[in-house]
Amino acid sequence: MRNVVIGGIAGVVAGVVIGATIVAPRLDLAARGPSAGVAIEDGPPGIGDGSPPLPVDGGPSLRWRMVSAYATTLPQLGTLAKRVETEIARVSGGRFEVRAFDPDVLVPADELFGVVASGTIDAAFASPSSWADEDPAFDLFAAAPFGPEPAEYLAWIYFGGGRELFDGLFRRRNVHALFCGLIAPEAGGWFRAEVNTVDELQGLRMRITGLGAKVMTRLGATAVPMDGGETFIALEKGSLEAAEFFTPAVDAALDFRRLGKHYYFPGWHQPATLFALIVNKDRWGEADSASRAQIETVCGDNIRYGLAEGEALQFAALAEMGTQGVKMHRWSDVILDALESTWLGVVEDESAKDASFKRAWDSLASFRRDYAIWNELGYARGR
C-alpha cells in the first residue's frame, strides 16, 4: 500500500464535524498507545539510556528537518519516525538534531520525495511504497504480497542483494536512503459482511493500495485509495464495504472495530513492512563520518525496536477487540490460493512493464527459493 496517505489522518478529519467527535479521540488514543494496555512508552530502552542528551554549547552542529509521512502520534507508523529524532539526540550527545515534523506542516505529504531531492527539506520518513510513482520497484522494498516475513526480508536486504538494488534506485535522484524501520504483518482487513468465496469479492468496494490493490482489482473488487480519515468516514457511511488499514494495534487505537465487525487474517498483502529514511544527497555529503554512523546506527536500532514492539503489541489489541464483538476470521485456503495465483499474474505483468521491478523481483524470488531450504529444515512449524 502507499502508506504516505495515512499521514493525512489528522489533517483530513480536522475540517469535518466527525473529526471532533469520532476520529480525534482515536488519534488522541493513538498518541497514548493502544488502549489494550500495552503503552508505546513501556517498550524496552533503545540505544540511549533514556536520559536526555547532554547540553552542547551553541546548540547542535548539524540540524536536519525531517518530515514524517505519518502523524507522529500514530502508534508505530508515526512513533518510529519520532524515535529517530529522540535517539539521534541521545547518541550524538545533542550535537546532531533531526527534528521530526508531521505531514503537511512544512510540505504536502504526497510530495516528500521531490522536496527531499530538491533540498527543500533535508529528510523524510516513509515506507518505500510511498514512492512507487517514482519507480514501481519501490513497492517491493516496502512489502510483497505472500512475500518474505521479517527475518527473511532482512536477510535478502542485507545479504541477498536487496540493499544494492535499493541504492541503485536513488543514484540519479539526488537522494540517499537508509532502511529505518520494520514492523509486524498487517491484518487482512475489515469487512462489513463475511467473505466465504472468491466470487464474493466481485464488486466489493475496498480501501486498499499498492500491490495488494492490483490483486484485488483482478479478482473483481474495486480498490479505492483513501487516507485514514476518509476511510473511517466512508466505512461509517457505507460507501466502502471493506478496508485494510494496518496492524491490529493501530486499528484498535483508531477504533476501526466500530465500523466493520469481521476482521480477516492473515495480511497476505503485507506480511512485513519496511520503512526508510531518505536524505537529500547534498545534506548527506555535508555530514561528517561520525554523524553518518550515528544516523545509520539509529535507523538500524529502529528496525530492531519496531519489529519487537510490533510483535509485542498485537495480542493485547486482539484480545480487547474480541471483548468488543469483533469476529476474527482466517481467510479460507481457497481464497488464499486465489489471491496468491492472482498475485503471481500481477508480478509477471509488472515485470514485463518495468525493468527495475523485474530486477528486484528476480533477485527476491531467487533468494526466496534458496531460503526455502533453510526455512523448511531450520524452523519448527505447528504440529
Tell me the CA end-to-end span of the chain in Å, nearest whole number: 33
DSSP run (H or E) holding 308? helix 289-323
Question: What are the residues whose beta carbons fall under 8 Å from the beta carbon of 197, sequence distance 6 or more?
Answer: 334, 335
Domains delineated in the chain: 1-376 (3.40.190.170)
> pLDDT in tens for each of the 383 residues of the chain?
433 333 333 333 333 333 333 333 333 333 333 333 333 344 555 565 555 555 555 678 999 999 999 999 888 989 999 999 999 999 999 999 999 999 999 998 889 999 999 999 999 999 999 999 999 999 999 999 999 999 999 999 999 999 999 999 998 899 999 999 999 899 999 998 999 999 999 999 999 988 999 999 999 999 988 766 677 777 777 788 898 888 999 888 877 777 678 999 999 999 999 999 999 999 999 999 999 999 999 999 999 999 999 999 999 999 999 988 899 999 999 999 999 999 999 999 999 999 999 999 999 999 999 999 999 999 876 54
pLDDT at 229 (0 to 100)? 67
Give the CA distances from residue 370 to residues 152, 252, 347, 367, 376, in Å, rounded to whole numbers and listed in that order: 11, 37, 19, 5, 11
Q: 30: which strand partners? A: none
Q: Are 243 and 260 in contact (CB under 8 A)?
A: yes
Q: Closest by alpha carbon to 130, among 246, 225, 2, 245? A: 2
Between CA 336 and CA 343 the distance in angstroms is: 10
**Residue 134, phi then psi, degrees to nearest 5:** -70, -40
Give yes or no for a contact between 71 and 37, defined as CB atoms under 8 angstroms apart.
no
Q: Quick check: 270 and 143 in contact, CB under 8 A? A: yes
What's the pLDDT at 60? Answer: 83
* Spatial contact of 177 and 167, defined as CB atoms under 8 Å apart: yes
Name residue, grid cell 547534498: 282
Closest CA to 299 of 110, 201, 158, 172: 158
Q: Which of 335, 321, 304, 211 is nearest to 258 (CA)?
A: 321
How far apart are the C-alpha atoms of 65 and 342, rounded to whole Å?
41
- 211 and 334 Cβ atoms separated by less than 8 Å: no
Q: How far apart are CA 252 and CA 242, in angstroms?
A: 16
The distance from CA 146 to its chain's CA centroid, rounded to whole angstroms, is: 16
With contact defined as beta carbons under 8 Å apart, do 299 and 179 qualify? Answer: yes
